[in-house]
Structure 1
Amino acid sequence: MHNSPRFTINRHLIILMPKQPVLDWIKRVDPNPPNLTLDQLRLEQNAFLISDDLDGQQDAEKWVQRRWQMFFEGFLAEWYTV
């Protein structure tokens, strides 16, 4: 038996955590808003695999900032659509 891993993942993972304005929005637009706290809202989040070409946390944050609208719209659509 050898000591090298059988599988490797050549990606980084990001998880976007909602802030208070997101919870406020959910409670404002949903006709039957759930009785959520911010901590409860943060329990189940989507994870996104991003390229391993990014060099550290700063690069990952810049990558997300350039694509924030896509992530934000996806998050809102999961919560409430008319």
Structure 2
Amino acid sequence: MAYEKRDLTGTLFKNDKREKDSHPHATGSCVIDGVEYWVSAWTKDGQKGKFQSLAFKRKEERREEIKNGYADDDQGQQPADFDQIPF
């Protein structure tokens, strides 16, 4: 039986290519409202212990970046305003 992507589900895999602290610990993909996203996850230490911090990027945007030749410039980087999220 083939793997079927379902809405509001996804997968993460350990990032064996991680070279810098800014690179995610895990990467994968998910489907939200029928749209496919790349998922990056960082394991961080907080006041209440370890937690996972996630970032999502539409797969279509990534294809455009590859087509335009600048996809590797920001791979694995968190958005500049990432720490401003109020949770």
TM-score after normalising by structure 2: 0.30
Larger Rg: 1
Structure with greater helix percent: 1
TM-score (ref. length: structure 1)? 0.31
**RCO higher in structure (CA 8 A, sep ≥6):** 1
More strand by proportion, 1 or 2? Answer: 2
